[in-house]
Structure 1
Amino acid sequence: MKKGTVKELLSSSCFKNWKSMLIEGETIDAEDLDLIMDMASLERKIMINVDSMPINFSHRKALHFLEMDYHEAHWIRVEDLMTIRNSFSVSLISNYFTCDHLNQLIRFWFKCDYCMFRHLTIHMTDSFLVTSIFKSLIYLSTSRLGLQQFFILSHRYELVEFPISVISWTGTNFKMSTVPIEGEYKQEAKILKILMRKKQLEEELESGSEFENTRLNYELQISKQQLENQGVLLKLLQPDFLLLTLYKDTVFFLIRHFNRSLIPLTPPLITRLWLLCCRAKTFNGT
């Protein structure tokens, strides 16, 4: 691409209000790329599919488009992802992201009081390490017909329009979507709210006075009762594992609390848990 070509096109009245742009080729000039990024807005979509990007390229508005598809994304840092706001979709192919970076991003999203994005796809070379990705987070893991999904409820769920993150790992792609609280995953959100409150009460119990602990224990029992009312049965599998069985949908929930390990949800384990669920139903007369 010759220097000035992009500048000439963008200066033309025909391209003044462009909505979508596709850039393909071996490389692109840094000056031309700066001009394009300067025009970023939530009314524009961009796809860049070049073999190599300018060395040390960086731009504060690179992730400020409505939709972004960057094939060569080694230049994007996790700090750049944290600048996304109200975008619809982001797709990054070649990059340097690790599971620890994903954890940083999710924890940032968890505290946000605004919508960052609706859909995020990051091609990964790392394995899907649950303990790294969800470190210091309370999350819900479900398995339906072999599809495993992970759910996190935003700390600011009362303010955010799409406060539930639905995370999955498809092939080598990390996928994170955000959805409204009133919808397909309404029940998962309800359970996560109770678990977040339960965790808060447990932390307060560690530092509360004897008088306060009486009240906190009472509220903690209410939280446990609420879980039972949701058709959730808490079973201690091992000291660090909690299994929640949702009778209504016969879905198994594995809850990981802060810095605890998650038991792998393998087909043999699902079969064993299903049998436990059936026995529990019979025992409770359901």
Structure 2
Amino acid sequence: MSSFLFENSNDSEDEPNIRIFWESDDLNSKRSMKINISGGKIDENRLKTIMDNAESDSKIEIIGTEIPPKFRHEKAFSSFKSIEYQDASWVQIEDLYNLRNAKSVKLGANNDFTNSEYNMLIEHWLSQEWDMFEKLEIVRYKWVSLRIQWVLSGVDGIVSTRGGQDVYVFLAKNRENRKNTVGIVYWKKDTFFMETMDPKDYCSLDGGEEEYNKLLELNKDD
């Protein structure tokens, strides 16, 4: 079930389609705001106004829309529970540090993140005081190589296999006030993935409890 709050009429190719509506969860009837923007280009002030008025824990999806390269907004990564920005040319790695309790985050391939910046993001997650996200997905251009020794430099973890996929697993250093303290990194089809899990859920996986105990041993001095 959904009810519209706003829907514009697209009068030109440069004009984005904007739909803002309430979306209901069939399980518990909880409503959340969803912002869907597609096509064209969006003016910086217009996008700022949309984010200014977004409810906490809204979903935002901007696909096929050009976002101003210098766009900045305090809510862009801190207030939404589901985020997709297909045009990620404006996103800096430091913006991701503001993520807080997001379910899913997806960025398009036109970002220019380096191996060392991915490492900075992981290091920030390790010491953060709150849960940042459950799943982060960053599409990458094929010609840009990820180097595991750089991305995970200084990170104590183990290599595991999940669903036939090699994954790199590690623990947050700050585990006192966070739920999802197991970090998992992998990449496939030119996409970087990072997922986080509750230790109880990780231990319920095949071989998960043994792997978690290894991680505790690796991090016993933290």
Q: Which TM-score band (shorter chain)? A: 0.7 to 0.9
TM-aligned CA deviation for residue 39 of structure 1: 2.8
Query: Is the partner of 1:174 in helix, strand or coil?
Result: strand
The gaps in structure 1 that reach 5 residues or longer are: 202-286
| 1:157 pairs with 2:157 | no
Please tell me whether the aligned partners of residues 98 and 124 of structure 1 are also in contact (alpha carbons under 8 angstroms).
no
The structure that is strand-richer by fraction is 2
| 1:27 pairs with 2:73 | no
Query: Is the partner of 1:22 in helix, strand or coil?
Result: strand
Query: Is the partner of 1:119 in helix, strand or coil?
Result: strand
The structure that is helix-richer by fraction is 1
Query: Is the partner of 1:165 in helix, strand or coil?
Result: strand
Evaluate the alpha carbon distance shift between residue 71 and residue 145 of structure 1 in structure 2; reply closer, same or farther with a 3 A threshold.
closer
What is the percent sequence identity of the aligned residues?
27
Please tell me whether the aligned partners of residues 66 and 86 of structure 1 are also in contact (alpha carbons under 8 angstroms).
yes
Evaluate the alpha carbon distance shift between residue 192 and residue 49 of structure 1 in structure 2; reply closer, same or farther with a 3 A threshold.
same
Structure exhibiting the larger radius of gyration computed from Cα positions: 1
TM-score, normalised via structure 2 length = 0.78
| 1:83 pairs with 2:98 | yes
AA aligned opposite 1:25:
G
What's the counterpart of residue 141 of structure 1?
159
Distance 1:35 1:144 in 2: 42
Distance 2:122 2:92 in 1: 14
TM-aligned CA deviation for residue 186 of structure 1: 3.0
Q: Could you report, residue by residue, the CA deviation over 1:246-285 in whole angstroms, capped at 9, with x for unpaired residues?
A: xxxxxxxxxxxxxxxxxxxxxxxxxxxxxxxxxxxxxxxx
Distance 1:167 1:99 in 2: 13
Query: Is the partner of 2:94 in helix, strand or coil?
Result: helix
Evaluate the alpha carbon distance shift between residue 89 and residue 141 of structure 1 in structure 2; reply closer, same or farther with a 3 A threshold.
same
TM-aligned CA deviation for residue 157 of structure 1: 2.2
Q: Could you report, residue by residue, the CA deviation over 1:59-114 in whole angstroms, capped at 9, with x for unpaired residues?
A: 12111211000000111111110001111110001211122111000000000121
1:92 to 88, 103, 107: 107
AA aligned opposite 2:138:
I
AA aligned opposite 2:61:
M
Q: Could you report, residue by residue, the CA deviation over 1:217-270 in whole angstroms, capped at 9, with x for unpaired residues?
A: xxxxxxxxxxxxxxxxxxxxxxxxxxxxxxxxxxxxxxxxxxxxxxxxxxxxxx
TM-aligned CA deviation for residue 43 of structure 1: 2.6
AA aligned opposite 2:216:
K
1:121 to 137, 148, 162: 137
Please tell me whether the aligned partners of residues 150 and 168 of structure 1 are also in contact (alpha carbons under 8 angstroms).
yes
Please tell me whether the aligned partners of residues 40 and 62 of structure 1 are also in contact (alpha carbons under 8 angstroms).
no
Query: Is the partner of 1:121 in helix, strand or coil?
Result: strand
| 1:71 pairs with 2:94 | no
Distance 1:186 1:41 in 2: 39
Query: Is the partner of 1:60 in helix, strand or coil?
Result: coil
AA aligned opposite 1:166:
I
Evaluate the alpha carbon distance shift between residue 115 and residue 189 of structure 1 in structure 2; reply closer, same or farther with a 3 A threshold.
same
What's the counterpart of residue 210 of structure 2?
187
Evaluate the alpha carbon distance shift between residue 34 and residue 144 of structure 1 in structure 2; reply closer, same or farther with a 3 A threshold.
closer
AA aligned opposite 1:113:
E
TM-score, normalised via structure 1 length = 0.61
Distance 2:102 2:162 in 1: 29
Distance 1:194 1:30 in 2: 49
Over the residues paired in the alignment, what is the CA RMSD in angstroms? 2.5
Query: Is the partner of 2:125 in helix, strand or coil?
Result: helix
TM-aligned CA deviation for residue 122 of structure 1: 0.5
Kindly report which structure 2 residues correspond to 1:51-70, keeping only aligned pairs within 5 A, or say none.
Answer: 51-63=65-77, 64-70=79-85
The gaps in structure 2 that reach 5 residues or longer are: 1-9, 23-30
Distance 2:64 2:92 in 1: 18
Distance 1:89 1:43 in 2: 12
TM-aligned CA deviation for residue 51 of structure 1: 4.1
